[in-house]
Structure 1
Amino acid sequence: MDIKLLSRTFAAKGTKLAIRYNTVETLPDAEKTLADVLAAGAEAFLFQADLTDVGNIARLFDETIGRFGAVDIAINTVGKVLKKPFVETTEAEYDSMSEITSKVAYFFIQ
């Protein structure tokens, strides 16, 4: 299930949402998701950050708590998938994928 579908599903139930996006390239999708959840009557805001910087994870939670008072559900959909044959993966690509997928998940749960 992708973040857009999750956001719209939770919005329909009146959930307050922090919608995180990473870069200016992903901003249009985030803005579309925000518009959809606001149209569904939910409260929401956009949060831009690279979550491989652990400080940004803390900032995401701090800002969400500051706006909504608490976090009841947190869903991490951050991950990196290499779209190339497995045998062609370089060590640097693996390290990047591991940092994005594992490190973010670890500190997000923390």
Structure 2
Amino acid sequence: MSHSLQGKTAIVTGSSRDIGRAIAEGLAADGAAVVVNYVGNAKAADDVVAAIVSKGGKAIAIRADISNVSDIRRLFDEAESQFGDLNIVVANVGVAVIKPLVEASEADFDLVFGTNARGTFFTLQEAARRVRDGGRIIAVSTGGTKMFFTQTALYLGSKGAVEQFVRVLSRELGPRGVTVNALSPGFTDTDLLPERDRAVAAGMSPFGRIGAPRDVADVAVFLASDEARWLTGENIQAGGGVA
């Protein structure tokens, strides 16, 4: 552990797998006490906690459905009850429905915007209320909002909203020394990237590969650190040079 985040506490939503897990593990490795949030897979969340604890870190798992505002508030209540004052919140939860805009149903819209936009909005709201002065708030978006893809209107639209939330909140919390940034992964080895697209995605990066969750997580850990104190209201692209 580098211990640069020693004494800090963090919530990472959607952190039982993929990028969220890597962020939770990265924050813990730097000394933060981490709340691992999950909604459906308790075993996966417990595995993350066990991995962190086995390396000398501190973590607990808390179930909360980020599309439910009362669950969000309970998540923060329980986190404070367990770890005290909060310093870092990473709003990482995201879902995708991939289909042409003309085929998207009301249920599809409600699922994606209810989780990615509404859920993130109220996570950011609670973070703004609870994070201590000088804290760090990070919202995970996507490099896709800078590109043009078919069948992604719901996903990219919801993430575009997240980026605007970040810009506004950074201004509102600046007087308290709280930084608020978006982190936008590119093509990354997660469940959201179909197998059929991986070779093409790798070819779009100068590095000739898709990203690993750790590649993105290391940027998140930097944004949570004191070294990132002069960055706020930014959308940090973590896409391996894909543009």
Superposition TM-score, scaled by structure 1 size: 0.88
> Residue 14 of structure 1 contacts residue 41 of structure 1 at CA under 8 Å; is this kept in 2?
no
- Return the alpha-carbon distance in structure 2 between the equivalents of residues 4 and 50 of structure 1: 17
The residue that corresponds to 1:28 in the other structure is 43
Q: State the 1:52 CA deviation.
A: 1.5
> Residue 66 of structure 2 contacts residue 120 of structure 2 at CA under 8 Å; is this kept in 1?
no
Post-superposition CA distance 1:72-95 (Å, at most 9, x none): 00011111111x432432222112
Structure 2: unaligned runs, 5 residues or longer: 1-17, 126-243
Q: State the 1:47 CA deviation.
A: 0.4
| 2:70 counterpart of 1:55 | yes
- Return the alpha-carbon distance in structure 1 between the equivalents of residues 99 and 116 of structure 2: 19
- Return the alpha-carbon distance in structure 2 between the equivalents of residues 64 and 92 of structure 1: 31
Q: Which of the numbers 23, 26, 40 marks the counterpart of 1:6?
A: 23
- Return the alpha-carbon distance in structure 1 between the equivalents of residues 32 and 121 of structure 2: 25
Q: State the 1:67 CA deviation.
A: 1.2
| 2:60 counterpart of 1:39 | no
Q: Write the letter of the residue equivalent to 1:37.
A: I
The residue that corresponds to 1:73 in the other structure is 88
- Return the alpha-carbon distance in structure 1 between the equivalents of residues 44 and 58 of structure 2: 18
Identity of aligned residues (%): 26
| Number of equivalent positions | 107
Q: State the 1:62 CA deviation.
A: 1.1
The residue that corresponds to 2:99 in the other structure is 85
- RMSD of aligned residue pairs (Cα, Å): 1.4
Give the number of the structure whose residues are more often strand, by fraction: 2
Q: State the 1:34 CA deviation.
A: 0.9
| 2:120 counterpart of 1:96 | no
Q: State the 1:108 CA deviation.
A: 0.5
- Return the alpha-carbon distance in structure 2 between the equivalents of residues 5 and 34 of structure 1: 12
Could you say what secondary structure the match of 1:72 adopts? strand
Q: State the 1:44 CA deviation.
A: 1.0
The residue that corresponds to 1:107 in the other structure is 122
From the CA coordinates, give the structure whose radius of gyration is larger: 2
- Return the alpha-carbon distance in structure 2 between the equivalents of residues 64 and 36 of structure 1: 19
Q: Write the letter of the residue equivalent to 1:17.
A: V
The residue that corresponds to 2:146 in the other structure is none
Structure 1: unaligned runs, 5 residues or longer: none
